[in-house]
Amino acid sequence: MNLKIIFTIIVALIHTYIWYLEMFLWTKKKGIKAFNLKSKKFADETKILAANQGLYNLFIAAGLLWSLTYNKEDSVLFFLTCVTVAGIYGSYSTKKISIFYIQTIPALLTLLLTLFN
């Protein structure tokens, strides 16, 4: 298995985990801590929004895996670009550098591996 495939799978797994956090753990201790939510009450009030966000993360993961399964390099590039842009925006808008490290850097490395491999 080549490096770009391994990295693409890693990015898909990251987004599958984010989906799980947003969809099922948002109002739990782990979700509240992971997203640095201000209170359990806030988590309860926003859980529908978080579940919707979670679905989008799952769609990204599914798109990446579908692209690998059917050898659609242009689709892999599209989804990795989406993740990279979303990670940059998320990090900037929330002032959380961890988003950049967790989401953007793996996607950007994978994007570069895909482009130059």
- 3-37: pLDDT as tens digits: 999 999 999 999 999 999 999 999 999 999 999 99
Give me the pLDDT at residue 9, please.
97
Using left for φ > 0, alpha for ψ between -120 and 50, and beta otherwise, residue 95 falls in left
pLDDT of residue 8: 97
Burial class (CB in 10 A: 0-12, 13-18, 19+), 103: buried
pLDDT in tens, 36-91: 999 999 999 999 999 999 999 999 999 999 999 998 999 999 999 999 999 999 99
Per-domain boundaries in the chain: 3-115
Radius of gyration of the chain (CA): 15
pLDDT confidence of residue 41: 97
